[in-house]
Amino acid sequence: MAHAEGQHHAAAGAHAAAATTAHHVEGQQHPLGIYFKIWGLLFVLSAASYAVDYYHVQGYLRWGLILVFMMLKAGLIVAVFMHMVWERLALVYAILVPPLLLLVFVAIGAFEADYTFLTRGTFFGPPAETAPAAPKHK
């Protein structure tokens, strides 16, 4: 009986060792289909971005669409081609949070610059018009 238990534990140990070896394979393999789908989606987004110019969209709509397409393409490239989708959340935060904070600080600086520009006239504007001087007599 003890001999049978020993064989059972030895077989379980061999199975565990094989499973451990299988889990320590270096690298990750992703299906190529996902890359082709993302490549096609990037092509569609680029075509839409060029369509904005082709159809002469103007004003804030133009720049809004260009920025949206740019951010979507950049997000897809970072997520799939740079493998951020498959990384740990801490690494994703370490790479994405600093640029996002930089954008927030630039936006805060832009708002402050607008405020300074608009209030400059209050403090440094042209002097108030004075009454014309009386003519001098000879």
Q: How many CB atoms lie within 10 A of CB 114?
A: 10
Helix locations, the chain, DSSP H: 2-23, 32-54, 59-76, 89-124
**pLDDT (tens digit per residue) in 16-38:** 554 445 555 566 787 899 999 99
Give the rounded distance of the alpha carbon of 85 from its chain centre.
13
Measured distance CA(60)–CA(47) in Å, rounded: 20
The domain spans of the chain are: 30-86, 88-121
**pLDDT (tens digit per residue) in 74-95:** 999 989 998 888 888 888 888 8
pLDDT of residue 65: 96
